[in-house]
């Protein structure tokens, strides 16, 4: 495994890889790697000839400066994990490489960014769109791998690829969960033991809601029950619990088992903001 710090170093490797027709897979991350990230790596290794993992904590996608400051940084540990997975290259660019000067670029994802994460984290998807575009331009992968855990991000990136004609196949990898159901997230390490227990309210509410919907309850009742669940959880503030079309992110007011739908949730446990989602109809 080789760690690459500059676009120049990558360009040499890219040329030789292309020369022998190697298919390149990119797994963009912000480090603090967990088993969810490693599932993306495994998917890339399976589908491509050469896997590049990027590690860059992207300042432009944080709308909360405290969240950016508190974001865990564990590069040495991350590199060990990636080496064990048999990753070929890790791209660790400096902030100056990615942002030679402060960017004022504005991407507009229309309706997709007016709801849920977009509405609750102003500027977040603009920052995501900018960094993902830069990584696609720098690495020029054939395929790129993203987690279903960030479902709205997947929809935004597919839109970005279509709007800008990036020649990249976007692959989605299922959410990896801890044994008790909590979705792996780099932010989980910031939960104290009591909040870690409380955090199960996200996955439990998603599962109960799915059961209730299939038992014939109306979405509005299901949503109300979930809200009560969150209100009854100590130290917890629910931001949203919505039924959506997972491609367009249209917020649905009723459940129809004939249509594709997912439930998305965001909540703060203490000062740690967590998101999760569950597919209801694929």
Binding interface with ligand AMP (CB under 6 A)? 29-30, 36-37, 39-40, 146-147, 149-150, 173, 175-176, 183-186
Distance of closest approach, residue 237 Cβ to ligand AMP, in angstroms: 21
Dist CA 121 CA 242 (whole Å): 16
**What would you report as the CA-atom Rg of the chain, rounded to the nearest whole angstrom?**
19
Tell me whether residue 182 or residue 222 sits nearer to ligand AMP (CB atom). 182
Tell me whether residue 132 or residue 209 sits nearer to ligand AMP (CB atom). 132
Distance of closest approach, residue 220 Cβ to ligand AMP, in angstroms: 29
37 is catalytic: yes
Dist CA 276 CA 182 (whole Å): 9
- Using DSSP, state whether 108 is helix, strand or coil: coil
Angle at 194 between CA 119 and CA 265, to 5 degrees: 25
CB 272 within 8 A of CB 195: yes
Q: Which residue is it, tokens 């969240």?
A: 67
Distance of closest approach, residue 178 Cβ to ligand AMP, in angstroms: 9
Tell me whether residue 32 or residue 238 sits nearer to ligand AMP (CB atom). 32
Dist CA 157 CA 172 (whole Å): 11
* Of 176, 185, 175, 173, the residue nearest 44 (C-alpha): 173
Tell me whether residue 29 or residue 261 sits nearer to ligand AMP (CB atom). 29
Beta strand pairing call for 89-91 and 50-55: parallel
DSSP code per residue over 23-45: PEEEEEE-S---HHHHHHHHHHH
Distance of closest approach, residue 68 Cβ to ligand AMP, in angstroms: 13
Dist CA 220 CA 242 (whole Å): 10
Q: Which of 34, 37, 124, 142 is catalytic?
A: 37
Distance of closest approach, residue 91 Cβ to ligand AMP, in angstroms: 13
Tell me whether residue 23 or residue 42 sits nearer to ligand AMP (CB atom). 42
Instruction: Write out the catalytic residue numbers.
Output: 37
């Amino acid at each position: 495994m080789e760690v690459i710090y500059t676009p120049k170093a990558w360009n040499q490797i890219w040329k030789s890889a292309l020369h022998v027709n190697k298919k390149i897979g990119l797994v963009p991350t912000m480090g603090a790697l967990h088993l969810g990230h490693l599932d993306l790596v495994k998917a890339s290794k399976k589908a491509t000839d050469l896997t590049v993992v990027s590690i860059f904590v992207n300042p432009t996608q944080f709308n909360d400066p405290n969240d950016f400051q508190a974001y865990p940084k564990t590069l040495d540990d991350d590199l060990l994990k990636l080496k064990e997975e048999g990753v070929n290259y890790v791209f660790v660019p400096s902030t100056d490489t990615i942002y030679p000067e402060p960017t004022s670029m504005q991407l507009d994802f229309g309706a997709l960014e007016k709801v849920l994460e977009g509405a609750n984290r102003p500027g977040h998807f603009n920052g995501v769109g900018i960094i993902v575009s830069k990584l696609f331009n720098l690495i020029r992968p054939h395929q790129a791998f993203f987690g279903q855990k960030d479902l709205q991000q997947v929809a935004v990136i597919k839109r970005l690829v279509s709007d800008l004609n990036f020649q990249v196949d976007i692959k989605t990898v299922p959410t990896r969960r801890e044994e008790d159901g909590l979705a792996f997230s780099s932010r989980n390490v910031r939960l104290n033991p009591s909040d870690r227990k409380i955090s199960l309210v996200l996955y439990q509410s998603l599962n109960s809601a799915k059961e209730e919907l299939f038992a014939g309850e109306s979405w509005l009742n299901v949503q109300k029950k979930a809200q009560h669940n969150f209100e009854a959880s100590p130290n917890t503030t629910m931001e949203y619990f919505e039924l959506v079309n997972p491609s367009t992110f249209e917020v649905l007011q009723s459940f129809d088992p004939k249509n594709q739908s997912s439930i998305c949730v965001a909540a703060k446990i203490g000062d740690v903001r967590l998101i999760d989602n569950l597919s209801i109809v694929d």
